Amino acid sequence: MTDTKKHQLNEEKFRSDDVDLSKVHSDFYELFALNHKKNMLCYVFEDPKKYEDVISNPNYYLFKEEAELISQNKVLLGQYLQNIETLIELGPGSKNSLIYKTLPLLKCASALSEYIALDISENYLEKISEFIEQNTNLQVSLIQSNFLESIPPLPNNGKNKAIVLLGGTLGGFDEDDRIKCLQNISSFAESGDVFIISADTNLDKESLLRAYSTEASKNIVMEVFEYYASVNLDFKPYKNCFDMKTEWEESSRTISHELSSLQDFSFKIKSHEDIQVSKGQEFQIVRVHKFCEEEFTKLLNSMKLRVMSIAGTGNIKLFITMKY
């Protein structure tokens, strides 16, 4: 990455020394000592290669269907994106999501001059400028930021903007964070800006388990412990001593990943009592939510993101909205 690109990354570094580790330790204390059901997906976004492994699984319909949906709806997208000058993608992801989703979407926006990628993870951002610059004439900027906290305002206000959030990213957050994320997007957007988001409405247990109960998913989930081992060396010897079980709970439309310990062990968490883990003990650490089209439409409208069009007849729906 060039220095100019690098200086555009803001200072918020997920792993930097000034990250408040007391919150991290208390999250893991709640998981291990209090057996709280947690959603710790916020600790995993470190390795784009592992995300590539997930999306290359032919049973991971989310990726394939969403890419097809974009390519089948070029005309519709072109209508909403025709006056857009700046496109901001939240969580653009890895190489194949850039090839099969971002690039086709950018090509629908005939007046576009600028692409901004915003992601929490420097690892994901790293390759984006090179790829977009090689494949388009757009000016590219990178922002490293957590969109659950806020989306920093852009210096070049006044341009027509589109904001895009794809790839089931919102479904990886629990309800409070989903609302926070949409509120932040809505506050960032100005009246008339376009916001495009996809939502997975699949409720079919078999296909969901085929998509999520995989070794590639386990590798992503295990990143939670990989991360914790990097900030608590006492936990490091045990970070891989777990098996994963994936379940679908229809009443809450939730996929949950549980890890069960393969052995007894104990370790220390700073400022907390020692932790004892027994063989077979289970910990729910990641949840993924699926959506109902009507409810999601209402939620977006309530955030001043008026739903203008919903594309898709399969599991994945593309919601095209406009800030009012």
Ligand X SMILES: C[S@@+](CC[C@H](N)C(=O)[O-])C[C@H]1O[C@@H](n2cnc3c(N)ncnc32)[C@H](O)[C@@H]1O
What are the tokens at 50?
């592992």
**Minimal distance, residue 44 CB to ligand X, in Å:** 8
Rounded CA separation 225/238 (Å) = 9
**Is residue 184 a contact point for ligand X (CB under 6 A)?**
no
**Is residue 45 a contact point for ligand X (CB under 6 A)?**
yes
Rounded CA separation 218/53 (Å) = 11
| Range 270-309, binding ligand X (CB under 6 A) | none
Q: Phi and psi (nearest 5°) for 230?
A: -75, -20
Query: Of 167 and 312, which CB lies nearer to ligand X in the complex structure?
Result: 167
Query: Of 121 and 217, which CB lies nearer to ligand X in the complex structure?
Result: 121
**Is residue 39 a contact point for ligand X (CB under 6 A)?**
no
CA 17 to chain CA mean position, Å: 24
| Range 99-118, binding ligand X (CB under 6 A) | 101
Query: Of 105 and 277, which CB lies nearer to ligand X in the complex structure?
Result: 105
Out of 31, 168, 178, 214, the residue judged to bind ligand X by CB under 6 A: 168
Out of 24, 86, 93, 284, the residue judged to bind ligand X by CB under 6 A: 93
Task: Look up tokens 């976004």; give the residue.
Answer: 45
**Is residue 91 a contact point for ligand X (CB under 6 A)?**
yes
**Minimal distance, residue 57 CB to ligand X, in Å:** 13
**Is residue 141 a contact point for ligand X (CB under 6 A)?**
no
Query: Mapped to the 3 state alphabet, what secondary structure does 283-310 carry?
Result: EEEEEEECCCHHHHHHHHHHCCEEEEEE
Strands of the sheet with 194-200, listed across from one edge:
139-144, 114-119, 86-90, 161-165, 194-200, 316-323, 305-311
**Is residue 57 a contact point for ligand X (CB under 6 A)?**
no
Pairing outcome for strands 254-261 and 282-289: antiparallel
**Minimal distance, residue 236 CB to ligand X, in Å:** 24
Per-residue interface string for the shown chain with ligand X, residues 144-163, x marking contact by CB under 6 A: --xxx---------------
**Minimal distance, residue 97 CB to ligand X, in Å:** 3
**Minimal distance, residue 206 CB to ligand X, in Å:** 22
Confirm if 160 and 193 have CB atoms less than 8 A apart: yes
Stretch that binds ligand X, among 21-29, 88-96, 183-191, 243-251 (CB under 6 A): 88-96
Query: Of 120 and 163, which CB lies nearer to ligand X in the complex structure?
Result: 120
Report which of 285, 323, 286 is spatially closest to residue 303, judged by C-alpha positions: 323
Rounded CA separation 286/259 (Å) = 9
**Is residue 171 a contact point for ligand X (CB under 6 A)?**
no
The C-alpha torsion from 261 through 265 and 269 to 273, rounded to 10°, is: 110
Residues near ligand X (CB under 6 A), total: 18
Chain residues in the site for ligand X (CB under 6 A) = 45, 51, 91-93, 97, 101, 119-121, 124, 146-148, 166-169
